[in-house]
């Protein structure tokens, strides 16, 4: 029997300790590196499984030690944390397989996998953070660990993108530091507590509390790619495909969205936030971002850029669900955290396969690729239809709950917004599907017939995640489905 209180720490260490080992391995020790990577990732899935079982049985994990007088480094495994770690653990395993296949002969593999592990460790840390101070530590670690991944190719273009990425995220981190300090000075604690910690303070000093909200959400909004801080995300597309996949599905944008959840639910508390009158503007901002991202996506010819703008739009669903301040919308938001991750990672891995196997990087080159790579394109199609919100796929479930929540909160415009956004999703995804399946490949084009040369390590991961998209949607009401788990969380956050 494993020492139970340390379980969250072990989960963190699986990827944190893997990093220095991976850095130290010589470039040519590919087999050993793969073994360590996959071994650690699999171990983590197992540990997360056992942790979620324990947490669902009501075991509370709380690990803390003092960094400065009164200020603690605190790890806690609550259901919300489990939701996010489970996503990162499963997708890390799948992405690791994909990365091994993708980078088989590329340079700097030791560096890549080292930072890749650090990036996952930071994500796990973000999930497990028991207070905003600890969250900040891992949030910055995430920035530092992803920067070398973004500029992995080492070209002038990659470095330019990396610089923009660094400017946005580090500035965001600095503002988050300011917000955390402000919270610490104002409230004397930074703990995440369901129902929030600022109720008294907000009643006393409304303006300061509102300002704090703006600072914190603004800082987190940079990573969550909220308008107007979204510009880095499409530029960061120069990164290798597995990195983009991870950035969009789990690590960076989700860290921002997850942080927004923590701040709204457990720092301010949904009632306090509503009383401060800050949720409505946030919902409006999320709505604008949803539409703006979709509109921009339509005009992109580069596949990865189109997907990136789609992420800008889709991640704001999560923020919208949080800001609507209705339990049902919250279920939709939390479920979308998982569902969007599954769908977007599928699409990025599929896009990577198109680029690797066929050299297809633009939408206009996609004619006939469905016949050349049926498995990959089938996965892509499933994910795209899910994004549009076709039942019974995962995206439908989250959109349904968001719409219901909008009604419950008396915000009927949300329905119109969701319908409009789905329409826009269809406008930018369906032509891709149409080209892939119903057009013939240009005779001398990149998609010319002939078996594509991609190994199973590239082919299998998107198919796997596509199946998960189907399962998460089709079996949404089964026990331990993401949806069921989110209901469990929402009951806690709304203290029902």
Partner 1 sequence: MSIEISPMILAVFVPLFGAIAAFVLTRVAALIGLATLVLTTGAVIWLARDVLAAGAIVLPLGGWGAPLGIDLRADGLSVAMLALTSAVGFLVSIAALDSLKGADQVRQRQYFWPLWLLLLTGMNGVYLSTDIFNLYVMIEVIALAAVGLTVQSGSRAALQAGLEYMYASILGALLFLMGVGFVYLQLGRLDFAGLSGAAPTGALVAALALIFVGLALKTALFPLHFWLPAAHANATAPASALLSGLVVKAALYIVLRLAQYMPFPSENLLTLVGLMGAGAVIWGGVQALRAERLKLLVAWSTVAQIGLIFVAFARAGELGLTESWKAAALLILAHGIAKAAMFLAAGRIKDEIGHDVIRDLDRTPIRPTLAQFTFALAAISLIGLPPSLGFIGKWALMEGAMAAGYWHWVAVTMVGTLMSVAYFSRVFAGFLRFDRVRAPLGEHQGWALADAAPLTLALMAIGLGLLAAPLLSFLEIGYPFGVAP
**Residues engaged in binding partner 1 (CB under 8 A):** 23, 26-27, 66-69, 73, 107-108, 110-111, 136-137, 140-141, 144, 148, 151, 153-156, 159, 162-163, 166, 170-171, 173-174, 177-178, 181-182, 184-185
Q: Is 467 exposed, middle or buried (0-12, 13-18, 19+ CB in 10 A)?
A: middle
What CA–CA distance (Å, rounded) separates 320 from 65? Answer: 35
Residue placing its CB nearer to partner 1 in the complex, 30 or 137? 137
Q: Please, which residue, 91 or 122, has the CB nearer to partner 1?
A: 122
Structure tokens at 103: 């980078």
Q: Which is nearer to partner 1, 76 or 300 (CB)?
A: 76
Q: Which C-beta is closer to partner 1: that of 69 or that of 443?
A: 69
CB of 391 to partner 1, least distance (A): 44
Residue 133 CB, shortest distance to partner 1, in Å, is 9
String of DSSP letters for 373-427? SHHHHHHHHHHHHHHHT-TTSHHHHHHHHHHHHHHHTT-THHHHHHHHHHHHHHH
Nearest-approach distance from CB 185 to partner 1, in angstroms: 5
Token digits of residue 402: 């968001």
Closest separation in Å from C-beta 290 to partner 1 = 31
Peptide bond into 392 cis (omega under 30): yes
Nearer to partner 1, 8 or 148 (CB): 148
- We find the least distance from the C-beta atom of residue 128 to partner 1, in angstroms, to be 15
Q: Decide if 294 contacts 428 (C-beta within 8 A).
A: yes
181 or 427: whose CB is closer to partner 1? 181
Question: C-beta of 66: minimal distance to partner 1 in Å?
Answer: 4
**b/e string for 314-350 if b means 16 or more Cβ within 10 A?**
bbbbbbbbbbbbbbbbbbbbbbbbbbbbbbbbbbbbb
Q: How far apart are CA 483 and CA 332, in angstroms?
A: 8
Nearest to 194 by CA among 484, 482, 491, 485: 491
Residue 167 vs 478, nearer CB to partner 1:
167
Is cis: bond before 234, omega within 30 of 0?
no
Contacts of 217 (CB under 8 A, 6+ apart): 226, 260, 263, 264, 278, 282
Q: List the alpha helices (DSSP H) in 103-131.
A: 109-128
Cβ distance to partner 1 smaller for residue 70 or 450: 70
Smallest distance, partner 1 to C-beta of residue 265, A? 23
Can you state the percent helix, strand and coil of the chain, rounding each to 5?
75, 5, 20
Q: How far apart are alpha carbons 193 and 253 in whole angstroms? A: 23
Of the two residues 128 and 402, which places its CB atom closer to partner 1 in the complex? 128
The C-alpha atoms of residue 315 and residue 338 are separated, in whole angstroms, by 11
Shortest distance (Å) from residue 170 CB to partner 1: 6
Task: Provide the minimum distance between the beta carbon of 149 and partner 1 in the complex, in angstroms, as a whole number.
Answer: 11
User: Closer CB to partner 1, residue 212 or residue 329?
Assistant: 212
Nearer to partner 1, 173 or 452 (CB): 173
* Least distance (Å) between residue 23 CB and partner 1: 8
Nearest to 322 by CA among 335, 312, 340: 335
Handedness of CA 248, 252, 256, 259 (dihedral sign): positive
For residue 336, the minimal CB distance to partner 1 (Å) is 29
């Amino acid at each position: 029997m494993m020492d139970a209180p340390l379980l969250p720490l072990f989960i963190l260490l699986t990827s944190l300790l893997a990093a220095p080992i991976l850095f130290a391995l010589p470039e040519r020790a590919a087999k050993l590196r793969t073994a360590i990577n996959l071994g650690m990732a699999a171990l983590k899935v197992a540990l997360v499984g056992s942790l979620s079982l324990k947490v669902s049985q009501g075991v509370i994990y709380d690990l803390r030690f003092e960094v400065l007088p009164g200020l603690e480094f605190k790890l806690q495994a609550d259901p919300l944390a489990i939701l996010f770690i489970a996503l990162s653990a499963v997708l890390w395993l799948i992405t690791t397989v994909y990365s091994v296949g993708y980078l088989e002969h590329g340079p700097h593999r030791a560096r890549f996998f080292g930072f890749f592990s650090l990036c996952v460790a930071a994500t796990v840390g973000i999930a497990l953070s028991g207070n905003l101070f600890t969250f900040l530590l891992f949030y910055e670690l995430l920035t530092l660990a992803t920067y070398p991944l973004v500029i992995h190719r080492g070209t002038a273009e990659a470095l330019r993108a990396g610089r923009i990425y660094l400017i946005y995220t580090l500035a965001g981190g600095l503002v988050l530091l300011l917000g955390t300090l402000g919270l610490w000075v104002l409230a004397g604690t930074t703990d995440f507590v369901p129902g929030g910690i600022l109720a008294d303070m907000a009643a006393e000093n409304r303006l300061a509390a509102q300002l704090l909200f703006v600072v914190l959400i603004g800082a987190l909004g940079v990573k969550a790619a909220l308008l107007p801080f979204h510009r880095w995300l499409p530029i960061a597309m120069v990164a290798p495909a597995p990195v983009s996949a991870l950035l969009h599905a789990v690590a960076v944008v989700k860290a921002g969205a997850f942080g927004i959840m923590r701040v709204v639910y457990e720092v301010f508390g949904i009632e306090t936030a509503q009383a401060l009158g800050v949720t409505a503007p946030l919902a409006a901002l999320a709505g604008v971002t949803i539409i703006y991202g979709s509109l921009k996506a339509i005009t992109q010819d580069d596949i990865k850029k189109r997907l990136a703008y789609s992420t800008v739009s889709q991640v704001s669903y999560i923020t919208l669900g949080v800001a609507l301040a209705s339990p049902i919308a919250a279920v939709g938001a939390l479920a979308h955290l998982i569902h969007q991750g599954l769908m977007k990672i599928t699409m990025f891995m599929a896009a990577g396969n198109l680029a690797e196997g066929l050299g297809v990087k633009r939408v206009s080159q996609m004619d006939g690729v469905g016949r050349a790579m049926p498995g990959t394109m089938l996965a892509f199609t499933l994910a795209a239809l899910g994004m549009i919100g076709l039942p019974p796929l995962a995206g439908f479930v989250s959109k349904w709950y968001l719409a219901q929540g909008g009604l419950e909160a008396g915000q009927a415009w949300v329905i119109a917004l969701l319908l409009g956004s789905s329409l826009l999703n269809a406008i930018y995804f369906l032509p891709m599907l149409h080209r892939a399946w119903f057009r013939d490949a240009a005779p001398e084009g990149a998609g010319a017939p002939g078996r594509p040369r991609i190994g199973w390590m590239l082919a299998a991961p998107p198919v796997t995640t596509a199946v998960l998209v189907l399962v998460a949607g089709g079996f949404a009401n089964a026990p331990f489905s993401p949806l069921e788990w989110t209901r469990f969380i929402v009951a806690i956050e709304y203290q029902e």
